[in-house]
Amino acid sequence: MAGYRVKLTREGRVAILSLARPDALNAIDRAMCDAIVSVLDRLEEDGDCSVLMIAGEGRAFCAGADLKHMRALAGESLRRFIERTWIVGERIERSPLLSIAAVQGFALGGGAELALACDMRLCESTAMFGFPEMTLGSVPGSGAMQRLHRLVGPARALELVVEGKRMDGNRAGEIGLVNRVVGHGEAFDAALAWARDLSERPSEAIRYAKTCMRLPADGAVAPMVQGMVSSICQSGAGYRANAGQFLSGKDSR
């Protein structure tokens, strides 16, 4: 299901969005941006999935922005394309769905930025991450400058961007760029097992957790919103049943 640039399959409450341009190592062009956004629209409208897994078909997660497509753009058309890549990242980040990038092979430039827009990342030890933009004479423009430092700290983020060197999946795990590292050929199955497990959590609580994580800790807003969120979650039947079970176990001791 979905457009010619991506495929969408569902496994229970897990949606699997596969970048489906393996001949171009899943390079991102305008059509792929539009396809991802329309999948998100549909999933959010349906509301029957709580976890989104993003994977790449073939031997790459994604080799970045489609350099052939970008070569034909300039001025306003280039700006519109870059804005579209931003919208993709923001839609993933703000989505009520919990997102997991399953990275195998290359995740370069815009491909690494796509993985960064996901809530969590799992990769193979042999995956290859990198931000080559500066070696091409530019800077990452689709969210890495804003997201990378939150994961690896500002000094290391700047080093990765300025040096533009590639790193393998093991190194990405060591510096906190990814949550989990698995063996070669294992990313898809491992990410799916993880996604299935997480999809059993209540989807409203997942949505609140994502939102609360983005609240600034200072000021009065965070404690107030947290209080409201906890009170909504804890008034639900699921929470009351689980907490009741725990407490009756204590009482019977």
Question: Residue 178 is encoded by which pair of tokens?
Answer: 């990814």
The CB-of-60 to ligand DAK minimum distance in angstroms stands at 6
Decide: helix, strand or coil at residue 28: strand
Is residue 141 at the binding interface for ligand DAK, with CB under 6 A as the rule?
yes
Here's the x/- map for ligand DAK, 27-46, by CB under 6 A: it reads as x-------------------
> How big is the chain by its Cα radius of gyration, in Å?
19
Decide: helix, strand or coil at residue 167: strand
Catalytic annotation, pick one of 44, 45, 113, 159: 113
Known catalytic residue at 113: yes
Is residue 65 at the binding interface for ligand DAK, with CB under 6 A as the rule?
yes
- Choosing from 133, 181, 187, 229, the residue that interacts with ligand DAK (CB under 6 A) is 133
- How far apart are the C-alpha atoms of 215 and 130, rounded to whole Å? 29
The CB-of-235 to ligand DAK minimum distance in angstroms stands at 44
**Binding positions for ligand DAK, 70-129, rule CB under 6 A:** 82, 106, 108-110
- Choosing from 10, 42, 68, 240, the residue that interacts with ligand DAK (CB under 6 A) is 68
Catalytic annotation, pick one of 11, 45, 93, 133: 133
Q: 202-207: long-range contacts at Cβ-Cβ below 8 A with a sequence spacing of 24 or more?
A: 202/233, 202/236, 202/238, 203/13, 203/47, 203/50, 203/96, 204/232, 204/233, 204/236, 205/233, 206/50, 206/51, 206/96, 206/98, 207/96
Is residue 138 at the binding interface for ligand DAK, with CB under 6 A as the rule?
yes
Known catalytic residue at 200: no
Whether the CB-CB separation of 96 and 49 falls below 8 Å is answered with no
> What number of chain residues touch ligand DAK (CB under 6 A)?
20
- How far apart are the C-alpha atoms of 202 and 231, rounded to whole Å? 15
Active site residues: 113, 133
**Which chain residues interact with ligand DAK by CB under 6 A?**
24-25, 27, 63-68, 82, 106, 108-110, 132-133, 136, 138, 141-142
